[in-house]
Amino acid sequence: MNYYSTNRQSPIVGFKEASIKGQAPDKGLYFPETLPQLDKEFIRSIENYSNDEIAFRVIKPYVGNEIPEEKLFRIVSETVNFPVPLVPISESISSLELFHGPTLAFKDIGARFMSRCLGYFLKNNSKKVTVLVATSGDTGGAVANGFYEVEGVEVVILYPSGKVSQVQEKQLTTLGKNIHALEVDGTFDDCQQLVKTAFMDAELNQQLFLTSANSINVARWLPQQFYYFFAYKQWLHNSPSGDKDPVISVPSGNFGNICAGILAMQTGLPVKHFIAACNANDIVSEYLETQNLQPRQAVPTLSNAMDVGNPSNFVRILEIFDHQFPELKSKLSSCTISDTETTATIREVYQQYNYVLDPHGAVGYLALQRYLADQPGQKGMVLETAHPVKFPDAVENCIGRPIEIPAAVQSIMNKEKRSVLMKADFKQLKEYLVN
């Protein structure tokens, strides 16, 4: 499989080079030259396959021959070695729980796969690699965990000061060793712009071997398809014969997660419709109404991982649909949910179904509930992207009781935070990286 830049001004590369570079030299995102079509019999008999086998069959066309099959199978097995349950909430809505990995967030799968791929590609590399990543919350912890103590790799994580939860901050600032946290006085968009500028700085790239671990990197983005297939496998098992394909609601910030799901659909996964569930940072909701994609400054919300005013991955969704707006709109809709509606949804779902949503899942749940209200007979699932314990103040105020703290969180809460405070200034970032 080869990859081209969405800006179409850079050379075609293979999976290895796309993974190592992260972003194309022309500032575009790498995108597969062709979309593989999965065997229909595989989809029909998906219940007969293990999650390891499903993940391997999904990712193999994108990797090609650049990782031996035996090694690739081992990588995906290590990537998905925790449960991803589809849990019924109501008669028409289920929750795909993506928070059972080591950092309690959906980004564990992409980060674990990418770290293992880079470890394989760089095992004989003489020059130390610097993984540079911006996070709005969960990416930082997942990347830190995935790359912790990986030989020959230094990780530098930029996060917006005061705009991530305490648990999220602890996950990305307490590991030490090869993991370094930069606390930026600004927004996630500021952090993301600093990272993009670093990749475009010729002098810096001569001195350092830089790569990215955001979902702009194909090795982070593509494996996010896995859990959509795991969900469908359970959907078939849980649904009575004759049930329709699911509607899937995805809490959306940088749009890498929903983009992976749409890619899975275009390559053969049965999905009725996708909903991009947005908070106040809803430029895609506006785009689907006006066909005008107008980035703007991000505003802080309770669902902080979605506080993105310029979602990088939306360009890949446009590529999937060949920039044909009518086809895109037939498969994707969007819904904007306020913080007030988010807290009300957490409270109501807990009182009615005894199920605890985190703020991101609550945005997705309400967006799906509204869509299904106009689609009699259809059912769907919401992606629960993070454990509620990451947002204790918002959630506990809604449900009226403390959230049980998982052991993985208890072990880090008393650890010392280690971060370097900096302005949203590229010169300051460059000096830090060089020195």
Torsion angle (degrees, nearest 10) of CA 273, 337, 108, 390: -150
Q: CA angle 34-15-114, nearest 5°?
A: 120
- SS3 state at 210: strand
* Gap between the Cα atoms of 340 and 344, Å rounded: 6
135 in Cβ contact with 146 (< 8 Å) = no
Decide if 415 is catalytic: no
16, 107, 170, 196: the catalytic one is: 107
Closest to 267 measured CA to CA, from 86, 21, 427, 34: 34
Distance CA 28, CA 5 (A): 5
Residue 384: strand pairing partners? 97
| CA dist., res. 296 & res. 318, Å (int) | 19
Bridge partners for 336 per DSSP: 278
Whether residue 109 contacts residue 101, with contact meaning beta carbons closer than 8 Å, is answered with: yes
Q: Which amino acid is at 267?
A: T
Number of H helices, E strands in the chain: 20, 14
List the catalytic residues: 107
